[in-house]
Amino acid sequence: VNMPGTSGQQGTDGGGLDPKLLLSEPPDELLCPICTCVFDNPVQCPNGHVYCRRCLQRWLTEDSETGCPECREPLNRESIGQALFVKKQTLGLHMRCPSAQAPPAKRQR
């Protein structure tokens, strides 16, 4: 599964948060294998594979018979659960202030 992330705040597929917006590099365990961004609203299959909710929904919409992108376990709404431990970990990440990314403009008199 390899759908590249983008340089914006969220992936083009509506997935997770761009890791470049964080103060430090996030651990790989907090990156969605579909969008390669930090998990947003993480969910998991019955075997524990975790994805952004939007990423997994898009994956299943494109081919509902595919199942989990990693183990191919058949999935439906009842079999997908929140990944609360992962969500708690992502909430602990520190983001850069968006306005601090660019130097302040100089005032002219």
Sign of CA dihedral 50, 54, 56, 59: negative
Residue 18: both structure tokens together: 């761009």
Q: Provide the residue ranges of all domains of the chain, joining segments of one domain with +.
A: 19-96
pLDDT at 1 (0 to 100): 35
The architecture (CATH level 2) of 19-96 comes to: 2-Layer Sandwich (3.30)
- The span from the first CA to the last CA of the chain, in angstroms, equals 55
CB-based contact 81:7 (threshold 8 Å): no
Instruction: Give the pLDDT confidence of 5-62 residue by residue, as tens digits.
Output: 333 344 444 578 787 877 778 889 999 999 998 999 999 999 999 999 999 999 998 8
Query: What are the percentages of helix, strand and coil residues in the chain, rounded to 5?
Result: 25, 15, 60
